Structures are given as structure tokens and as C-alpha cells.
Amino acid sequence: MTTHTRELGKFSLGVGDRFAHQAKAQLQACIQASHAGVDVIPVWNKSNREHNIIGSEPASTRAAADAAVQALGWKLPYFCDADHINLTTVDRFLSPCDFFTIDVADYIGKPPSPAAVDAFLQRRFSLVGSHRLPGASEPITIKPELLRATAAKFLFAVQEAGKVYRHVEAAKGKGSFIPEVSMDETDAAQTPAELLIILAAIADEGIPVQTIAPKFTGRFNKGVDYVGNVDQFRREIHLDVAAIAWAVANLGLPKNLKLSIHSGSDKFSIYSAIHEATQHSGVHLKTAGTTWLEEIIGLAEAGGDGLALAKEIYSQAYDHREELCAPYASVIDIDPAKLPPPAAVAKWTSQQFTSALRHDPHSAAYNPSLRQLLHVGFKIAAKMGDQYLRLLESNEKVIAKNVTENLYDRHIAPVFLGKPSPVAVLAHAEAK
Ligand SMILES: [Zn+2]
């Protein structure tokens, strides 16, 4: 029996829909992309952590995605991503998901057996040398010590990825889902040379990986712009793309293997670099939490009960900020002194609230600390239950408009169509 392997497609966008109410508005942004000439495959991702915080099940994400696709008549593929799963958390995602982000960051640095390292070094010694890769301006150089050190650091993690992959394959069948391997939630960035060696280990493990998420240089904080050296990122991503192309040609990995960028949303400063580096290879861009913030923006913009609830969410998030921030400590940088007291926010107009929260680099009122706190504050809305969901429903129109515009204008257009990102627009305006 031959089975047809499901393929992700060249350009894809990971979208998060924490309360499973915005799938239509998100899909609308992909429809706009098709109209503009680029097909962007939507992937609804929600991590185990988010499901636990909200108290939802992966099947609800699938139901919302299916309903949106049905309602809008979307004919291209779409996927539901079991985001950041491992062997202990994957099972409840097996049935509703067809994309698995196998997160092995916790296993990086765990020692593999010496025999496994020796076998890898023997098998892959030809990686040693200076590789001039097509499309790369500088070579990737691998010395014997780097090969050994990278094997020692990553082999255990890749073996763990193999276990998770085979667990999913046994349950769902080969080729019926998209496997991703992610190593982004760790301290040290992986260099392009390390990425190449890791891909060799993934090929050895027999994982038909379609997307790989390394940790890039710089900070990818939740919901705010990139913090780091943009030129270094630009060099690195070009080399990563070249390393992947080499791995596809030489290691037997799937032809459509591409980078997955766990952006944490809104990395406007590096969108042009991502576009330049990936317009031929393709890319998967995850922008999970930004939609939940657009819900708050929409509620605030609606005024009345919506604005009152947005203020209440901020007030409670402020009071519980330590607890809310703890799980995300490595991916947020909030300056407590910049958080306005809830009593002050209580007097804000719709305009004051939305301009503090909306990520508009032009605006002096934009407050990244407030934005990051609300980004991790979705637990507050989850606890409000029906009160929150009812307001989402009664304000659907204004929220949907914000969700679609945000995804299309700020993310899809710069990354997939090469339009100026909001930051580039600002730099251009300042130069005038
Ligand atoms: Zn990630």
C-alpha cells in the first residue's frame, strides 16, 4: 500500500487562538494573502502549556479550525499543531492534530552513550571540512572537535525526538502528519554548523522532518520586537537556509524541509531578513499570542462593557504579575516601573488603552511592558470564562477586523510578500 505524504507547503503561518474564537478572522488573513499572490498555509498551534493554563483540550482547536475552513470555503491544506510536545504530553494531541512540534530543548546537553557518539562520528566524519554552500556568502566550517562536541551536546536530544516521532507515527501512520523538531526554548543559539550536524543526526534517526526550529541569536520576547544584532541574525539565517538546502540534497531529508521561526510574534526588525533569506526556500512563521492581544484591543476599541473588561483584565494581570510571568520568565522583559497602576488605567479612554497595547512603533503611547504583561495574562480571561467569551461574541466584528489586519499587515505582508514591516516604515519616515 502506498500512502501519500502530507506536505506543509512553501509558506505557512502558525497562528494561536487561545480561546478558539478567531479562526475565521485568522483564515481571512490567509485568504487576503492568496488574493495578493502568495499562498500561506494556516497552522493552528496551541501548546500543552497554553491548554493547561486555559483548561482547554486540543480537540477544541481542531473543531474551530475545521469550522472556519468550512465557513470560508478554504480549499488549500491547513493543519493543527501539537505545539511543543514531548513523550509525556503528546497523547491527547494524537487524534486532533496533524502537525507535531517535537520539543527536545530540555534534553540538549544530556550525555548520549559514548558508543552512540562514536558511531555518529564514524558515520558522519565526512561532515568535517569547509563547506561552500550554494547561496551562502561564507563557508560553513566543521572541525573534528566541533563534530564531537555537537554530537555530545545534541545526540541525546535527537534520539529523544526519534522516540516521540515513532510514537506519533505508530498512532497516526507514516506520512499522515508534519513532523517538526524544535530546539528554540533553550539558552544558547545554535550556529549554522551545529544545525547542519543536528540535521545529520535527525536523518540518522529516520525522522522525515519538514520544519526545524533552531534557536537564533538574539532575544525573541513575547509579543514585542526582536532584541539583538540584526546583521548577525541576517548572516545566520542565510547560512541556516543554505545548511538546510545542503542537508536536503545530501542527507535524504524531505525536499520541503524548511526553517520554522518561533517568533513569539512581532519581530518586525528582522522580517526583511527573514523574507530575503527564505523567499526561495519557504518558511514557517509562528506568531502565536498576538491574536489574543487583538481580542483585548478589539474589546477596548468597542468601549462600554468591552473596555471595562479589558481594564479589569489588566488590573488582575497587574495584581498577579509574578505568577503570570513565571512560566515565561525566559521570554519576557517587563520593566515593572513602566506598568501603569490599574487605578490610572481605569480612567483611560478606548484610544488610550488601544494605543498603549497596540504594537505600533510609531506611537509614543505604545507600552511594551504593558503589552508583554497582557500577552502572558490570558489566564485571567480564561478564569472569567463565559463572561469573557460572551463579550468576544458580542464584539466579534471589531475584534475580527483587528485580528485579520494585524496578521496580514504586520506579519504576512512583510514576511511572505516582502512589504515593509512596521519598523521599516518608521525608519523610512524618520529618514525623511
Ligand atoms: Zn517555540
The pLDDT tens digits for 25-66 are 999 999 999 999 999 999 999 999 889 989 999 999 999 999
Q: Give the single-character DSSP code of 139.
A: -
* Rounded distance between C-alpha atoms, residue 289 and residue 353, angstroms: 18
In the predicted model, what is the mean pLDDT of the chain? 94
pTM above 0.85, yes or no: yes
Gap from CA of 331 to ligand 1 centroid (Å): 10
Q: Which residues, listed in sequence order, are joined to residue 259 by a DSSP beta bridge?
A: 212, 283
CA 301–ligand 1 middle distance (angstroms): 30
DSSP at 184:
-
Ligand 1 center from residue 399 Cα (angstroms): 26
Task: Quote the DSSP letter at residue 421.
Answer: P
Residues 6+ away with beta carbon under 8 Å from 211: 8, 178, 180, 181, 257, 258, 259, 260, 284
- What 3-state class would DSSP assign to 138? coil
- Judge whether 26 and 42 are in contact, CB under 8 Å: yes
Strand partners, 28: none
The answer to whether residue 399 scores a pLDDT higher than 70 is yes
Compute the distance from residue 5 Cα to the ligand 1 centre, in Å. 25
pLDDT number for residue 186: 85
Phi, psi of 47 (to 5 degrees): -80, 165
- Beta strand extents in 253-331 (DSSP E only): 258-262, 283-287
| Alpha carbon of 189 to ligand 1 centroid (Å) | 13
How many CB atoms sit inside 10 A of residue 322's CB?
8
Ligand 1 centroid from CA 165, angstroms: 17
Would you call 415 exposed, middle or buried from its count of C-beta atoms within 10 A (0-12, 13-18, 19+)? buried
In the structure, what pLDDT confidence band is assigned to residue 4 with cuts at 50, 70 and 90?
Answer: confident
Q: d(Cα 353, Cα 345) in Å, to the nearest integer?
A: 8
Distance (Å) from CA 157 to ligand 1 centroid: 16
Residue 155 binned pLDDT confidence (cut-offs 50, 70, 90): very high
- Using CA atoms, how far apart are residues 34 and 358, in angstroms rounded to an integer? 26
Average the pLDDT over 153-172 and give the result: 98
Q: How confident is the model at residue 427 (pLDDT cuts 50, 70, 90)?
A: low
Place of cell 530546539: 183
Quote the ligand 1 centre to 316 CA distance (angstroms). 27
**Would the pLDDT of 311 be above 90?**
yes
d(CA 106, ligand 1 centre) in Å: 12
Mean pLDDT on 146-154: 97
Give me ligand 1 centre to Cα 99, in Å.
14
On the question of pLDDT at 1 being above 60, the answer is no
- pLDDT, position 3: 60
Is the pLDDT reported for residue 431 higher than 60? Answer: no
pLDDT of amino acid 317: 97
* HSE-up of residue 407 (Cα within 13 Å, Cβ side): 35
pLDDT given for residue 426 in this prediction: 56
pLDDT band at 163 (very low <50, low <70, confident <90, very high): very high
312: left (phi over 0), alpha (psi -120 to 50) or beta: alpha
What separation in Å is there between the alpha carbon of 102 and the centre of ligand 1? Answer: 10
